[in-house]
């Protein structure tokens, strides 16, 4: 009769099954060890590994902590515990365990890479890069570390370096779809920079398209691949197929809208049926895409826009369109409805850049407010409304679209010009930090954002000769009101601005000023200042 297997033998058998992917058989061996030795640290560690692989991170945390309590210090246990804590959102505790793992074994490459990911989330980019570098020095074949390092470099705007990292990730793992998606994103951005520098058809765009196609071939269910490809197609002006891919935004990343339980609209007009267009993404997106609602109303549709309460007063000026702010209230109307996210409408309608319905204005300011603000602004001067930053929070104080107010110095020095601030949010504090701040008129517009968002700003714009803004909702509002507007764009601008154009099919009264590949705002503002001089002269200011 054979002797019972020892704990060491059972663990080896469990590891064999574990490596074969047979977690059931592996767990049976590990649990058998724990029946006779509940404090066996190795068995506890391996059971914790299985728990984490099955997504049971809280159970994995408890088991890993028991392994630490009952066994000698082991780097692998602290690394596993850190990974489980990270999955559970306990980032500080996760970081402590990765640091502990590294203290126990400075050559533990995985712990350095995991530490880097925590630092990326915390916003410590320089420290994260150092940890990635250490991890890759120890294990140059780590595809995930090359991939994550490249993603960080991409976020930092270091696109060439990011591309090189994604290429190395693909060498390490050629069948990892995410690496091809990220490579496509980097090539798209680099191609956009080339376009800003003057190339008519950047060859990197073709490489980017091939990268997205490769990712889709490897993993047809990866929505990020389709979304990346769609954004590239839209950027290049291929809206016919680009909007089809863009529909994958619903499942890629955080949801941008709340779907309704009713059927989605397919473009058909049905008698007695309502069409609800659901607001999504930012304020500028709502202002830009609400133009399609009056168009559909004119074609016989009963159109409602479901939007946030603060936007309702402004959108109420849309012709023939009902504005709703409560999805539940829609159900009180017994008539059937179909719905669609607002940014999906041009795809359903087959809109292309050369068929864009660009009749402006399609929004309107209230006449009484216009007259009141004109009286306050007074006569004389060439009045320029300025907006230099998005309405972000203190937690995210800068985006690549933002311009420092100091870069408006040349504009402020023009004779006969009066700058009027349209800026909201923390960036408005820059007025007190620039030498010309005292020459900027500040207005208490829209003091109650929840009650009348944008109504005062829209009225003020009618008393201005020009609006100069970065890529924010202010630009879209000015365009929708048919006000003259100069919009400054970063080198890597959003798809809706297309490539290499100084005009836009969205807004006939808008002129675009783009960064070149140097990605500096001073040359952009110098060109805008020169253009303002010419406009002021032609307008007789």
Q: What is the pLDDT along the chain (541 residues), one digit of tens a residue?
A: 456 678 888 878 877 888 888 888 878 887 877 888 888 888 888 888 888 988 899 998 998 999 899 989 999 999 999 999 999 999 999 999 999 999 999 999 999 999 999 999 999 999 999 999 999 999 999 999 999 999 999 999 899 999 999 999 999 999 999 999 999 999 999 988 887 765 555 689 999 999 999 999 999 999 999 999 999 999 999 999 999 999 999 998 788 888 999 999 999 999 999 999 999 988 999 999 999 999 999 999 999 999 998 899 999 999 999 999 999 889 889 999 999 999 999 999 999 999 999 899 999 999 999 999 999 998 888 999 999 998 654 444 457 899 999 999 999 999 999 999 999 888 999 999 999 999 999 987 665 545 566 899 999 999 999 999 999 999 999 999 999 999 999 998 999 999 989 999 999 999 999 998 888 999 999 999 999 999 988 886 5
Residues 51 and 124 in one domain: yes
Residues 379 and 337 in one domain: no
Residues 236 and 290 in one domain: no
Segments forming the whole domain that contains residue 168: 156-253
| C-alpha closest to that of 312 among 276, 264, 274, 279 | 279
Residues 314 and 381 in one domain: no
Give the separation between CA 43 and CA 77, rounded to whole angstroms. Answer: 11
- Report the SS3 class of residue 114: helix
User: Which two structure tokens, joined as six digits, stand for 228?
Assistant: 């990346």
Structural domain count, the chain: 4
Q: What is the CATH number of the domain that holds 128?
A: 1.25.40.10
Q: According to the model, what pLDDT value does residue 201 have? A: 53
In a domain, 428, yes or no: yes
Using CA atoms in the order 133, 118, 79, 173, what is the torsion angle rounded to 10 degrees? -60
Residues 375 and 340 in one domain: no
Report the chain's terminal Cα–Cα distance, integer Å. 106
In a domain, 521, yes or no: yes
Q: What is the CATH number of the domain that holds 432?
A: 3.40.50.2000
8 Å CB contact between 468 and 385: yes
Residues 215 and 166 in one domain: yes
The DSSP secondary structure of 231-258, one letter per residue, reads HHHHHTT-HHHHHHHHGGGGTSSS-SS-
Give the separation between CA 92 and CA 97, rounded to whole angstroms. Answer: 9
**End residue of a domain, out of 223, 253, 283:** 253
Give the separation between CA 54 and CA 427, rounded to whole angstroms. Answer: 46
Q: According to the model, what pLDDT value does residue 275 have? A: 97
In a domain, 150, yes or no: no
Residues 351 and 371 in one domain: no
Residues 13 and 128 in one domain: yes
Residues 76 and 181 in one domain: no
Q: According to the model, what pLDDT value does residue 446 have? A: 63
In a domain, 264, yes or no: no
Residues 389 and 468 in one domain: yes
Residues 376 and 349 in one domain: no
In a domain, 265, yes or no: no
In a domain, 148, yes or no: no
User: Which two structure tokens, joined as six digits, stand for 275?
Assistant: 């069409």
In a domain, 261, yes or no: no
User: Which two structure tokens, joined as six digits, stand for 466?
Assistant: 């020009």
Instruction: Write down the pTM of the prediction.
Output: 0.87
The region that residue 129 occupies, defined by phi over 0 for left and psi between -120 and 50 for alpha, beta otherwise, is alpha
Q: According to the model, what pLDDT value does residue 395 have? A: 40
Question: Which residues on neighbouring strands pair with residue 339, listed in sequence order?
Answer: 264, 276
Give the separation between CA 87 and CA 53, rounded to whole angstroms. Answer: 12
Residues 450 and 399 in one domain: yes
**End residue of a domain, out of 309, 331, 355:** 355
**End residue of a domain, out of 85, 104, 139:** 139
Residues in Cβ contact with 23 at an 8 Å cutoff, skipping those fewer than 6 apart: 17, 50, 53, 54
Burial 425-444 (b: 16+ CB within 10 A, else e): eebbebbeebebbeebeeee
Q: According to the model, what pLDDT value does residue 282 have? A: 87
In a domain, 102, yes or no: yes
């Amino acid at each position: 009769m054979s002797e019972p297997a020892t704990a060491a033998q059972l663990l080896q058998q469990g590891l064999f099954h574990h490596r074969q992917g047979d977690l059931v058989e592996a767990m049976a061996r590990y649990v058998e060890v724990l029946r006779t030795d509940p404090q066996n640290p190795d068995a506890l560690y391996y059971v914790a590994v299985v728990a984490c692989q099955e997504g049971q991170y809280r159970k994995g945390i408890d088991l890993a902590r028991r392994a630490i309590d009952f066994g000698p210090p082991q780097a692998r246990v602290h690394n596993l515990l850190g990974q489980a804590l990270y999955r559970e959102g306990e980032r500080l505790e996760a970081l402590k365990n990765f640091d502990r793992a590294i203290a126990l074994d400075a050559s533990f490459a995985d712990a350095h890479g995991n530490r880097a990911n925590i630092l990326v989330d915390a916003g410590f980019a320089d420290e994260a890069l150092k940890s990635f570098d250490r991890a890759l020095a120890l294990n140059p074949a780590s595809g995930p570390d090359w991939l994550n390092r490249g993603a960080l470099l991409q976020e930092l705007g270091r696109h060439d370096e990011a591309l090189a990292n994604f290429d190395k990730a693909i060498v390490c793992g050629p069948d990892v779809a995410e690496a091809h998606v990220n490579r496509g994103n980097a090539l798209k951005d680099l191609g956009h920079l080339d376009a800003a520098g003057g190339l008519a058809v950047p060859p990197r765009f073709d490489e980017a398209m091939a990268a997205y196609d490769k990712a889709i071939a490897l993993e047809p269910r990866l929505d990020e691949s389709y979304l990346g490809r769609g954004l590239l197609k839209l950027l290049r002006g291929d809206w016919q197929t680009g909007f089809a891919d863009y529909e994958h935004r619903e499942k890629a990343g955080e949801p941008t809208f709340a779907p309704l339980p009713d059927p989605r609209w397919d473009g058909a007009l049905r008698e007695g049926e309502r069409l609800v267009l659901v607001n999504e993404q930012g304020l500028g997106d709502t202002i830009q895409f609400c133009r399609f609602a009056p168009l559909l109303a004119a074609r016989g549709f009963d159109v409602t826009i479901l939007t946030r309460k603060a936007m309702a007063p402004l959108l109420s000026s849309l012709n023939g369109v009902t504005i709703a702010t409560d999805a539940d209230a829609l159900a009180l109307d017994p008539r059937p409805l179909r719905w669609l996210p607002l940014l999906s409408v041009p795809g359903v309608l087959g809109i292309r850049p050369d068929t864009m319905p660009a009749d402006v204005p399609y929004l309107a300011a209230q006449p009484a407010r216009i007259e009141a603000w004109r009286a306050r602004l007074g006569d004389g001067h060439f009045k320029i409304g300025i907006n230099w930053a998005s309405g972000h929070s203190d937690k995210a104080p800068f985006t690549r679209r933002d311009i420092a107010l100091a870069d408006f110095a040349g504009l402020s020095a023009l004779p006969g010009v009066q700058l009027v601030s349209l800026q909201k949010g923390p960036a408005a504090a820059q007025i007190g930090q620039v030498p010309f701040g005292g020459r900027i008129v500040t207005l208490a517009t829209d003091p109650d954002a929840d009650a009348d968002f944008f109504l005062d700003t829209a009225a003020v714009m009618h008393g201005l000769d020009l609006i100069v803004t970065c890529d924010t909702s202010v630009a879209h509002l000015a365009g929708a009101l048919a006000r003259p507007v100069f919009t400054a764009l970063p080198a890597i601008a959003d798809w809706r601005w297309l490539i290499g154009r100084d005009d836009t099919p969205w807004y006939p009264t808008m002129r675009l000023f783009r960064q070149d590949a140097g990605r500096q705002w001073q040359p952009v503002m110098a060109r805008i200042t020169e253009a303002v001089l010419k406009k002021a002269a032609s307008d007789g200011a």
